[in-house]
Chains A and B, each alone.
Chain A
């Protein structure tokens, strides 16, 4: 075939462009707020609270970044390479905190540890001189968010350590490196892409968080956004502020790119890494066990305790349908998001040029925006489309308040979560493998089914479970965009917490955790097959 410039537009680019456009719609709505002059609100914020909030946000990002790295990497390393009592249980138990919404853990921490809580009350009784401490100190905020978000790093790093195989470490040891040096000079750099991807997800969650920090009354940048919107009645200024968070996304992406460097995932497992039991084995068990207890067992027990008072009142007919609908939404929307993420990742592989990469990156931006601001951007965007359709065809409102719109909102928000695991799964499939299959006479579909699918399936399932859990926990977009009657557990939690009935919110929270456990359980069964 002669090599000539093809004048037809590239179909692959068009598909990627369409997905990027969907994400850009709400972002463009937010950016269009910059047309207005909101300098009065800005001046007020700059004069009074903004600098303090930025400082808080910086501390939070640094603190949570360090927290999730320390917890996630160390736990992943232990589980992947060491043998210790209870390892098989802890291996999956360490993923459980994924199912715990950040705002729920935050409430349990503040309620349990603050001056009026059971811990300090007991301490005061035993020890009259005890003067108390504040559970709303920044340390507790950072600790809480680290405990909720470390699984992102843990899961991706764990997979990376496992797939490195034992040989590299052995070679490093044979070349005279001690165990620590071998870890820092060989294993860690090789796992860097995975760790960076996990860190990026954790930090984006941290930046966009409003629920958990407001339970601590720890004012961050998102506080300024909501203060402008609800307090100062200035949605435009809120949109301006929120769009600034996109700058942080660029930073996070740059970090991830840098973290990745030229490194690529290895493509084979090799022999399992697990070493013989060392004499520190019990210490390892204690450390990993402590994390699970603090991040999951204790808070879940606390929720259970509150639930006991309320089971009869809370477990009505509505409740079952809430749980069922939550699960349905999580799974079906999860499949859609992962499907589209796979399309994107595949397109990027077919056309690995700059424009394609830019489009793909654009399509994953929605994760870093605070949920409710993004939700409003989506509503405004969809409503504009509805109006246009109404003018052209005389249709009634089609998008806003429909299930389709809600699914699109999930796509916009959670594409980043699905894209990471899918992309890294695809990277493991060297093109030569597929070519070999074709050479051996396999049709494209057969090659895909017999070679590609088995290799990427673990990545796809990981993505599906992560996104499914995130969708089930999602609150603001679900609230604003759901069709009439489509209430979920997260909606119920919102209704109760909005009225200050936190203890009663324990039941739906616990149900959400339980519903979230199912995906975690599946995830774990999958991970173990490695």
Chain B
């Protein structure tokens, strides 16, 4: 016991020392983000350089960060939540983790369908999810829409990523909104019937399977395609803009919102506004070959080369409000 007693005090002192942090300076924004350090750091660094405001951040996935924000409540040091997928942002508002912001800058820069009606979150980049096909075995004239991939002609030729990925949940959520639940389920069942093999764990695997000849078409986010193309310009794959004759190609966003209990609200709004401006938009979008949310800003050269397309102008919050329905629908349809 004496040993224990002798160790206990220094250990306690150490713990307290480790726990206590320096007081925050005023000019600081704390960000919780699910975006890659590599992508977000240049953006934050540029901001710090221009304004002198320092930014502290941690990265983790959106679900965990939201759980932490909720648990911390009024004590939370976070000012800003920046994450991918409108569904996650929508869910954050459901949990009352974000507060409304009125900003003419943000409202001017971010199109209406890419932000929350009450200003609780704003899209920062757009991520298009569309059809990818083998340029060796498929003519673009054979393709038209996501729904058409459920047709008999694609039997044994379709590759998909798992339904557990939120991108597919968002896509099906918008299909439910556009087509109704019954029709959406018919489409998803058709996809499952057409699968060439078990669904894959990621978009890259889908494209590699198409290249290897295991299947002919798939559905992927364009920046995954862009990365493969950057490494191998002779890729035997092409993108097809889906649903150009109907609703337009499905887009999701990465975006951010000011937290409910932000200690430094004004600085958070200023940072968010800056991120919607051209310079930051370029950094955010080009860093991952995504599309800027702000309509006046051009995408990277490589991205522009894929051609213009009509994007679905349904408000992206549908991805959240119908996500649970979408997940249940895919479970019923046997889409793993």
Contact = CB atoms under 8 A, between A and B. Distances in A.
B201 interface: yes
A2 interface: no
B73 A498 contact: no
Given A479-B64, A484-B57, A404 B71 contact: no
Interface string A293-324: 00000000000000000000000001000000
Contacts of A120: 212
B166 interface: yes
A32 interface: no
B324 A232 contact: yes
Contact of B201 (A15, A110, A482, A494): A110
A223 B164 contact: yes
B288 interface: yes
Which of A226, A483, A500, A502: most chain B Cβ within 10 A?
A500
Interface in A164-194: none
Contacts of A248: none
Contact of B327 (A227, A482, A494, A499): A227
A233 interface: yes
Contact of A404 (B19, B199, B205): B19
Interface in B206-245: 208-209, 211-212, 214, 224, 227
A398 B164 contact: no
A217 B201 contact: yes
Nearest to A214: B201
Given A232-B327, A376-B64, A397-B76, A498 B18 contact: no
A62 interface: no
Interface residues of A, number: 72
Contacts of A494: 59-60
Interface in B3-25: 3-4, 15-16, 18-21
Contacts of A230: 63, 164, 166
Given A383-B75, A498-B61, A485 B197 contact: no
Contacts of B162: 217
Interface stretch (A83-91, A282-290, A384-392, A427-435): A384-392
Contact of B198 (A136, A233, A491): A136
Contact of A49 (B74, B169, B214, B331): B331
A482 to B, nearest CB: 7
B264 to A, nearest CB: 14
A403 interface: yes
Interface stretch (B32-40, B266-274, B277-285, B302-310): B32-40
A115 B212 contact: yes
Contacts of A227: 164, 327
Interface string B312-336: 0000000000011001100110001
Nearest to B78: A401
A216 B1 CA distance: 50
A44 B331 contact: yes
A183 B63 CA distance: 51
Interface string A486-506: 010001101110111110000
Nearest to A386: B75
Contact of B64 (A111, A372, A399): A372
B179 interface: no
A336 B293 CA distance: 48
A219 interface: yes
Contacts of A403: 18-19
Nearest to B65: A480
A480 B64 contact: yes
Contact of B336 (A217, A398, A400): A217
B96 to A, nearest CB: 14
Contacts of B205: 110-111, 114, 116
B331 A399 contact: no
A116 B212 contact: yes
Contacts of A121: 212
Given A115-B209, A219-B336, A404-B18, A499 B36 contact: yes
Contact of A115 (B214, B227, B336): B214
A253 interface: no
Interface residues of B, number: 62
Contact of A502 (B56, B197, B204, B209): B204
B327 A380 contact: no
B111 interface: no
A485 B324 CA distance: 35
A233 B72 contact: no
B67 interface: yes
Contacts of B138: none
Contacts of A401: 58, 77
Given A110-B201, A372-B64, A487 B327 contact: no
B47 interface: no
B197 A115 contact: yes
Contact of A479 (B60, B72, B73): B60
Contact of A380 (B60, B71, B199, B331): B71
Contacts of B224: 500
A528 interface: no
A482 B58 contact: yes
Contacts of B169: 231
B75 A48 contact: no
Given A116-B205, A386-B75, A404-B15, A231 B323 contact: yes
A217 B198 contact: yes
Interface string B109-147: 000000000000000000000000000000000000000
Contacts of A386: 72, 75
A48 B332 contact: yes
Given A44-B331, A115-B212, A484-B58, A397 B324 contact: no
Contacts of B36: 495-496, 498-499
Nearest 10 Cβ contacts at the A-B interface: A116-B212, A383-B71, A48-B331, A116-B208, A231-B327, A403-B18, A404-B19, A479-B60, A402-B19, A397-B75
Given A114-B209, A400-B72, A498-B61, 4 more contacts: A229-B63, A383-B75, A403-B18, A484-B58
